[in-house]
Structure 1
Amino acid sequence: MKTITICGSIEFAEEMKQIAWRLEIEKGFNVLQCIYNEKNEPITDEAQKRLVAAHYRKIDISDAVYIVDIDGYIGISVADEILYQKRMEKSLFFTANSLK
């Protein structure tokens, strides 16, 4: 069973949750996701740094990275994660279609 980390804009949180479900149920992947601040709690700079570090650690322990690219949108953070994935020589997958 391969472990993959999902990367994408938090704007697509609901889509990423559904993609994670499909990847585990249909493909048998072990999916690591970002966490979701569903109650919109304030995040300190220090907490944000910890969240970013945790996400990059998920990439470190994954076999691959799955980029959620809905309607061609990839933000700066996801672009940085793609560059990191390349440096770490992880496999890369994209959604590359609209899920809306």
Structure 2
Amino acid sequence: MVYIEKSVEEYEAENAALRARLAELEQEVYRPCPVICMCGSTRFKQAWIDVKRILGCAGNIVIGVDLWGHHEHVYPDEQFKTFLDDLHKRKIDLADEVFVLDIDGYVGESTRSEIEYAKMIGRPVRYLSQEMPGYVEPEDPLVRLEQERNEAQARAERAETLLAKGVAEYDAMFAVGLIDYSEPEWVEGARELIEAAAALRGGGK
């Protein structure tokens, strides 16, 4: 059997090639994810959730807001608002780029300030209207449920009013002798429906 020994140079060349390949594999496995800071009005809560999902599923780390003031109609005082605005700029500091939710072309004062800050520190700024033209904000399920509840409550109130009117007219006719037979089943049933409608209306408040 013949053994062919490699030179030191050949071993070193092989080791260097292996180290280079290992470094490439580490880059592939541990490739850092881009960090994106979203900016925009908090009135578009469903768009924030939807676009964050899209960007996150594309392999990005997405930073957003912590409160939904405009959407939930809860407005901080001026001091706390200033704190939140400054906090969002610190989030931009951490990000590689900024993604603006300019729904229907709307960009508020705070968002404009964040865009200017991002450009000042050299962060690229992307816009929803440019990357997803024609984007429509998804329907808010909570708003839809609130609308359905209000509609059901209005129907209950209407039914209660109509039923009460019918029973009152029957009682009036019975009181003056226009009706001399015992109370029919529909009146008894109507009274039960009135109570049910009132309970439904009261429970929905």
Assess same fold via TM > 0.5: yes
1:88 to 112, 121, 126: 121
Displacement of 1:35:
1.4
* CA RMSD in angstroms, aligned pairs only: 1.6
> 1:1-100, aligned counterparts within 5 Å?
1-25=33-57, 27-37=58-68, 40-41=73-74, 43-96=76-129, 97=133, 98-100=135-137
- After superposition, the C-alpha distances for 1:46-74 in whole angstroms (9 at most, x for unaligned) are 22121111101000110000001111111
Amino acid at match of 1:99: V
Give the helix-richer structure, 1 or 2. 2
Could you tell me how far apart the structure 2 residues matched to 1:10 and 1:37 are?
A: 5
Displacement of 1:37:
3.6
Larger Rg: 2
Instruction: Give the TM-score normalised by structure 2.
Output: 0.45
Displacement of 1:42:
5.1
Instruction: Give the TM-score normalised by structure 1.
Output: 0.87
Task: Say which SS state the counterpart of residue 11 (structure 1) adopts.
Answer: coil
User: Which aligned segments of 4 or more residues in structure 1 are displaced greater than 3 angstroms?
Assistant: 37-42
Corresponding pairs, count:
99
Displacement of 1:34:
1.1
